[in-house]
Amino acid sequence: MKAIEFDRYGSPEVLQIVEREIPEPAPGEIRIRIHATAVNSGDWRVRGASPFLVRLFFGLFRPKKSARVLGSVLSGTVDKAGEGVQGFSVGDRVFGMSDLAMGCYAQYICLPESAPIVKGTEIISHEEAASIPFGLHTAHHFLKKVDLQPGMKVLVIGASGAVGSAAVQLARNAKCHVTAVTSGKNADLVKSLGANEVLNYETESLAEVLQKYDVILETVGRTDVKTLRTLLKQGGDLVLISAGMKDMFLAGIRSAFWKLKIHTGVAAVSRQDMEYFRKIIESGDYSPVLEKTYNMGEVVQAHEHAEKGHKRGNLALRMMEA
């Protein structure tokens, strides 16, 4: 099989297509023929060892052999089932996450039956399905902590990205009043997803906004936390999706002194979450936002695109023809 791996940290050019043996599923595992994965911020951060903390988990000087194939999301079909597998059959269409195990930049992967993988739906393509888990599960994880209620005023910064576009739709589903911060060219997109108001960051400054919000989601990590504090109602919820170590460390202290709730950290994922995601896709309550699909041989360009930022939703990476 073909896989994309990197044996050193660096620019997108360190990614190389290699030949590997097709893995065999152990008891309790399923082997998935991956049709598509997606290029997410976590992928290029690990590849570039940014922040430096990445090296503590994936290898200090070089990436560990077990971590050289990136990719944490997938859509494909079950190709083989190990002994004792009961929930999946060969031929099942599936989508979900390998989570921290990564390994989805490959044409085949073996995962435990208990992994956050669920049977897929044919109403969307493999590329669209692969684009769902990262942004949607991140937004869903933090908004569950917030407990959205109808009528709440929600501000989403970076509303046209993978996490932001998912957050806008989830807040809309909860009947909140959603204000989306994005560029002028993406205003129509976020409105179509359910945003009630749009702030164009190219012409409007958050520092001049007079409105107060119940919930603020900062998805890009570029807005000063002290500015966000002034926009939040007392006791409100501030979600810092891309918080650095400093903001994560200070979250508890600031929450107490500022009399608000700051949410940071890693978004955990479960199979129950994936089942919910499939449900809202099938009901029409969620639509994946896919800007572009790259072929496997275009992975360098895909990483360059993702790392520049300002993408509309997600970028898919086709591993083989469906």
- The per-residue pLDDT of the chain, averaged, comes to 93
Among candidate residues 215, 269, 263, the one with its CA nearest the CA of residue 96: 269
Question: Which band of pLDDT confidence, cut at 50, 70 and 90, is reported for residue 257?
Answer: confident
Residue-wise pLDDT tens digits, 52-62: 888 988 999 99
Q: Which pLDDT score, from 0 to 100, does residue 244 have?
A: 67
What residues pair up with 218 in beta bridges, in sequence order? Answer: 157, 240
**Arithmetic mean of pLDDT, 70-74:** 97
Residue ranges of the chain that CATH labels 3.40.50.720 = 135-263
Task: Give the integer Cα–Cα distance in Å for 121 and 108.
Answer: 20
Q: What is the mean pLDDT of residues 252-269?
A: 80
CA angle 320, 189, 318 (to 5 degrees): 5
| Average of per-residue pLDDT across 215-232 | 91
pLDDT at site 56:
87
Percent of the chain with pLDDT over 90: 79
* 322 has pLDDT over 60: no
Does residue 158 register a pLDDT over 90? Answer: yes
pLDDT value at residue 254:
76
Q: What confidence tier does 251 reach under pLDDT thresholds 50, 70, 90?
A: low
pLDDT score for 320:
87
Residue 238 has pLDDT above 80, yes or no: yes
Structure-token pair, residue 215? 């919930």
* CATH 3.90.180.10 domain range(s) in the chain: 2-131+288-318
pLDDT band at 172 (very low <50, low <70, confident <90, very high): very high
**For residue 69, what are the β-bridge partners?**
5
User: Any idea what DSSP says for residue 317?
Assistant: E
Work out the pLDDT band at 74, boundaries 50, 70, 90.
very high
Write down the CATH superfamily of domain 135-263.
Answer: NAD(P)-binding Rossmann-like Domain (3.40.50.720)
Cβ-count burial 206-227 (b if 16+ within 10 Å, e if not) = beebeeebbbbbbbbeebebee
Report whether pLDDT(207) > 90.
Answer: no
pLDDT single digits (tens) 6-19: 999 999 999 999 99
Categorize the per-residue pLDDT at 321 as very low, low, confident or very high, splitting at 50, 70 and 90: low
Range 2-131+288-318 has CATH code 3.40.50.180: no
pLDDT at 155: 98
Q: What is the DSSP string of 30-83?
A: EEEEEEEEE--HHHHHHHTT-STTHHHHH-SSS--GGG-B---EEEEEEEEE-T
pLDDT score of 81 more than 70: yes
Residues 221 and 241: beta-carbon distance below 8 Å? yes
Residue in the structure block whose two tokens are 């699909």:
293
CA–CA dist 30, 314 (Å, integer): 26
Centroid of chain to Cα 118: 17
Q: What's the confidence (pLDDT) of residue 142?
A: 94
The structure's pTM equals 0.92
